């Protein structure tokens, strides 16, 4: 029953539809007000969740995350002291701990998961959202940029690394004196901000705005 493709107002009809990506249920679009949430009736996936000034918040948070990542990567992160033997490591040191032979791949993967992927996501989000929030036409390649940012979402593991720190601290606590460097606190704030950023972002609203850019 492929009737939709042939009719002239098919495009308008399709534009008025939204399909749940999780269970394929099709709905006529009913755009929620700011602060409301539209969910799929069948599987209860959140489809649209717009918020007032969300774009501005996300940009502010993204800028903070950007500086925190750079700071957290280079400043000392943890220090250890046992019987006069001291050692201070940064997050980059931790990521590059796997050295020698095939372990180098693990180093690169760890560095990517905890620093470079979160960093790239922040840059992509800033690139896409700043023109949108300023009511300017969308940036060049904004659509592939936002798609890449969404594809990278599961591979951005800063918050997992933070919990990993807690576990590692427990493990060495009785072996040696462990101290926190400035990067540790930066990373703690960063984790909270990354989670806040993801919960503020309504993907559908971004796609909608990229599709219907304001002409200024």
Partner 1 sequence: MVSMVSPGTPQKVVTARDMGIVACRLCTKAWPMGTEVCGRCGHAIQSRDPMSLQRVWAYWLVGLICYIPANTYPMLRTETLFQSDESTIIAGAVEIAHYGNYGIAAIILFASVVIPLSKFWAVAYLAVSVKNPMRVSNHRRQLLYEIVEYIGRWSMIDIFVVAILSALVQLKTLASINPGPASIFFALSVIFTMLSAQSFDSRMIWDAQAKKEDASQDD
Write out the binding residues for partner 1, residues 84-103 only, by CB under 8 A: 85, 87, 89, 93-98, 102-103
CA atoms within 13 A on the CB side of 92: 9
Residue 1 touching partner 1 (CB under 8 A): yes
Q: By C-beta, is 2 or 216 nearer to partner 1?
A: 2
User: With CB under 8 A as the contact rule, which of the stretches 12-20, 119-127, 128-136, 182-190 interacts with partner 1?
Assistant: 12-20
Q: Which residues pair with 89 in a beta bridge?
A: 78
User: Least distance to partner 1 from the beta carbon of 33, Å?
Assistant: 8
User: Least distance to partner 1 from the beta carbon of 82, Å?
Assistant: 6
Q: Are 116 and 197 in contact (CB under 8 A)?
A: no
Residue 39 touching partner 1 (CB under 8 A): yes
Q: Are 131 and 139 in contact (CB under 8 A)?
A: yes
Q: Residue 91: how many CB atoms within 10 A of its CB?
A: 27
User: With CB under 8 A as the contact rule, which of the stretches 57-65, 128-136, 184-192, 207-215 interacts with partner 1?
Assistant: 207-215
E-assigned strand segments in 78-170: 78-82, 85-89
Residue 168 touching partner 1 (CB under 8 A): yes
**Bridge pairing between strands 177-180 and 78-82:** antiparallel
What whole-number distance in Å separates Cα of residue 157 and Cα of residue 116?
Answer: 10
Site for partner 1 in 50-89 (CB under 8 A): 78, 80, 82-83, 85, 87, 89
Residue 51, classed as helix, strand or coil, is coil
Residue 4 touching partner 1 (CB under 8 A): yes
Residue listed under structure tokens 């704030």: 189
User: Least distance to partner 1 from the beta carbon of 89, Å?
Assistant: 4
Q: By C-beta, is 58 or 111 nearer to partner 1?
A: 111
């Amino acid at each position: 029953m492929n009737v939709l493709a042939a009719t002239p107002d098919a495009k308008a009809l399709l534009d008025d539809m939204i399909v749940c990506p999780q269970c394929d249920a099709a709905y006529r679009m009913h755009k929620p007000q700011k602060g409301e949430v539209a969910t799929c009736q069948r599987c209860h996936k959140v489809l649209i969740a717009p918020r007032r000034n969300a774009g501005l918040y996300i940009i502010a948070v993204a800028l903070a995350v950007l500086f925190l990542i750079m700071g957290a990567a280079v400043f000392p992160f943890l220090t250890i002291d046992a019987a006069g033997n001291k050692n201070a490591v940064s997050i980059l040191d931790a990521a590059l701990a796997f050295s020698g032979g095939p372990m180098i791949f693990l180093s690169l993967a760890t560095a990517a998961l905890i620093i470079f992927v979160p960093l790239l996501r922040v840059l992509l989000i800033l690139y896409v959202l700043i023109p949108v929030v300023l009511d300017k036409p969308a940036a060049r390649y904004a659509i592939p940029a936002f798609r890449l940012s969404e594809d990278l979402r599961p591979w951005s593991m800063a918050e997992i690394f933070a919990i990993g720190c807690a576990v590692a601290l427990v493990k060495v606590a009785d072996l040696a004196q462990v101290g926190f460097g400035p990067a540790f606190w930066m990373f703690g704030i960063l984790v909270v901000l990354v989670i806040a950023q993801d919960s503020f972002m309504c993907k559908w609203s971004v796609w909608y705005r990229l599709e219907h850019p304001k002409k200024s």
